[in-house]
Amino acid sequence: MSVVVAHCRAGFEPEAAADLAAVAAAAGTTVEVDAPPGRGYVVATPRTFDAQRWPRALDAAPPVFVRSLFFGTGPHALFADDTAARGRPDRVAPLAALLAAFRRDCRQPGIGVRHRAAAVFGELRMETADTNDGKELSGLCRRLELPLAGELLADGALAEHDDADTPTVLPALHVLFAHGAEVCIGVSAPPWGSRWAMGIPRLRMPRGAPSRSTLKLAEAIQAFLGDQAGDLLRGGMKAVDLGAAPGGWTWQLVQRGLRVTAVDNGPLKGEVAEDPLVTHLRVDGLTYVPRRPVDWMVCDIVDQPSRIAALVARWIAEGHARGTIFNLKLPMKKRYDEMLRCRAIIDDALARSRLRHRLQLRQLYHDREEVTGIVLRTG
């Protein structure tokens, strides 16, 4: 492995680079990061790469502005010279050769690939940057996917989905097109690898939800709670939604059967406004506290991020809620520093209260100049 490749929101390359520098420090090394502004992904070259230490470092210093990452090699030119890349040259053969060499390179236990003669992958992810330039390459990716997957299957590199002996969670093989003649290739595996190609969940705007913000909470639930979502957010629980109007987040909670106090001076719209599980309070969300503790507090109030960080810390520390999902708006220039400041506010407040907790911040696919966070009491 010679590079770590990370997808991010276009424009957030410096923040993704800072994330990777922090992970590298946790892995006991340093990185040089190629992060041109607006490209939508960054390529970090670590001074040393230890396949055991990097996954642990990702757990110790989880990146915030990275949507998805893989360990790999590249960038690789697919053709010896530029002229060969014109028209529709055969890309499958040079790609298959690159991947075959890579398979031998990635028989390392730390990255989810067990000791075998050569690695077996659970899926092939053909990727581009999530930018306009990237979208122009998506047709090429689609055209190449089937023949390349055919080659990998014939080689035994890709698991047959109906193979009962194959562990269900196998690493993913990534092919990221920088342009039509250049790729980075690599591997990712749970828990540090994204469950979605390019870190982009395929979520449809649900009919009946009053705002597109609903997708932010839907993604946060999947990204942070994963398979535990059904247990941790279920019928009979109580939630408070601060800054609820027009009701997209409340709608998500009600769909899961939670009883919701929706706090906002603005009106709720659509079916949530009439839902018997919803109580709408026109009061200040920054000072409201429930009379009895609730299971969840969610907050999408547009305000200074440090004020929201202090608010969510207070709710958990004072026992008003057991868990919270919240959004921190980061319209300022020094947004990485601001994110660190907010994280410290929450961690410090909960450490003072001696509360064991899990705090995670992530810029989700549906987040713009903002990050979404979760705090859950543990133990």
What residues contact 351, with CB distance under 8 A and at least 6 apart?
Answer: none
Measured CA angle at 228 (ends 225, 229), to 5 deg: 65
Long-range contacts at 276-279 (CB < 8 A, ≥ 24 apart):
278/247, 278/250, 278/254
Bridge partners, residue 177, by sequence: 183
* Cα pseudo-dihedral 235, 240, 242, 247, rounded to 10: 30
Binding window for ligand SAM (CB under 6 A); candidates: 33-41, 172-180, 254-262, 282-290 = 282-290
**With binding defined as CB under 6 A, does residue 28 bind ligand SAM?**
no
Query: Among residues 46 and 285, whose Cβ is nearest to ligand SAM?
Result: 285
* Cα pseudo-dihedral 210, 198, 14, 105, rounded to 10: 160
Alpha-carbon distance of 360 to 324, in angstroms, equals 11
Q: Give residue 221's identity as a one-letter amino acid code.
A: I
Identified catalytic residue from 216, 329, 333, 334? 329
**With binding defined as CB under 6 A, does residue 369 bind ligand SAM?**
no
**Residue choice 193, 246, 305, 373 for contact with ligand SAM (CB under 6 A):** 246
Give the C-alpha distances (Å, rounded to integers) separating 350 from 59, 227, 232, 355: 20, 26, 21, 5
Tell me which H or E stretch contains 140: helix 138-155
Shortest separation between residue 247's beta carbon and ligand SAM, angstroms? 5
Which residues, 315 to 344, sit near ligand SAM by CB under 6 A?
A: none
Query: Among residues 199 and 247, whose Cβ is nearest to ligand SAM?
Result: 247
- Residue span 193-212 as binding mask against ligand SAM, x where in contact by CB under 6 A, dash where not: ------------------x-
**With binding defined as CB under 6 A, does residue 64 bind ligand SAM?**
no
Tell me which H or E stretch contains 56: helix 53-60
Binding window for ligand SAM (CB under 6 A); candidates: 2-10, 11-19, 179-187, 263-271 = 263-271
Is residue 334 among the annotated active site residues? no
Q: How many residues bind ligand SAM (CB under 6 A)?
A: 21
Binding window for ligand SAM (CB under 6 A); candidates: 19-27, 193-201, 238-246, 363-371 = 238-246
**Residue choice 301, 321, 325, 376 for contact with ligand SAM (CB under 6 A):** 301
**With binding defined as CB under 6 A, does residue 243 bind ligand SAM?**
yes
Shortest separation between residue 12's beta carbon and ligand SAM, angstroms? 20
Alpha-carbon distance of 296 to 375, in angstroms, equals 10
Catalytic residue numbers, as ranges: 329
Return residues touching ligand SAM (CB under 6 A): 211, 213-214, 242-249, 263-266, 284-286, 300-302
